[in-house]
Chains A and B, each alone.
Chain A
């Protein structure tokens, strides 16, 4: 039973446009959400996070939006660049209770020239 769902296995976006990656979760106890980025032959690397007390967090070209009532979060990348082509994992945790994070299956983002 997946607690963190990324329903789009892949996404193609033109260079310079906005990339929007979506993530849904089922556990209402999750209070901290993270995005990780993974290149081939490398481990995932932390990208950006958001606490449940916020609805938006921005870091340069990357913005994460959280809609708690819908149990939905999204990662916006603007403008998209070729180096953004990677697999993006959404993850969530009950941060106040646990050291663990639960990952989604990932979305492969292709940035087209």
Chain B
């Protein structure tokens, strides 16, 4: 089945220790998104790639970086996680354009100790 896969599902890191979250897709979609969702909050878009074009949201902290080495994979790097970065991180893909539905992975829950 075509899908969006996120690894790991649960990630524990220490305050200030860099961490990388992974997303892969078998849908061959052009666009990949990273969202942060804190408890009882709306998923908040951090950035997205349209093919290789990187689009950063204005309020995404510099602490968050992303890489998309090819169509299938996209990574979220948190350079120095703080306690406030503990959240669910959702990856999504689409064929492009907001009229097309986004397909979400199951998310990675990040805990910062």
B87–chain A nearest beta-carbon distance, Å = 14
B94 touches A99 (CB 8 A): yes
Which of A65-73, A74-82, A103-111 sits within the interface?
A: A103-111
Question: Which residues of chain A have C-beta atoms less than 8 A from B76's C-beta?
Answer: none
Q: How far is the CA of A44 from the CA of B103 in the complex (A)?
A: 8
Q: Is the interface of A mostly helix, strand, loop or mixed?
A: loop
Inter-subunit contact A44/B104 (CB<8 Å): yes
Question: In the complex, how many residues of chain A place their beta carbon closer than 8 angstroms to a beta carbon of chain B?
Answer: 27
Residues from chain B with Cβ under 8 Å of A36 in the complex: 104
Stretch at the interface among B11-19, B40-48, B61-69: B40-48
Chain A residues lying within 8 Å of B78, measured Cβ to Cβ, are none
B73 is an interface residue with CB less than 8 A from chain A: no
Find residues 64-85 in chain B having any chain A CB closer than 8 Å to their own CB.
none
Across the interface, which residues of B come within 8 angstroms of A32, CB to CB? 98-99
Known: A89-B43, A99-B98, A106-B42. 15 other contacts (CB 8 A): A42-B106, A44-B43, A44-B104, A46-B101, A51-B99, A93-B98, A93-B99, A99-B50, A99-B94, A99-B97, A101-B98, A102-B42, A103-B35, A105-B41, A105-B42
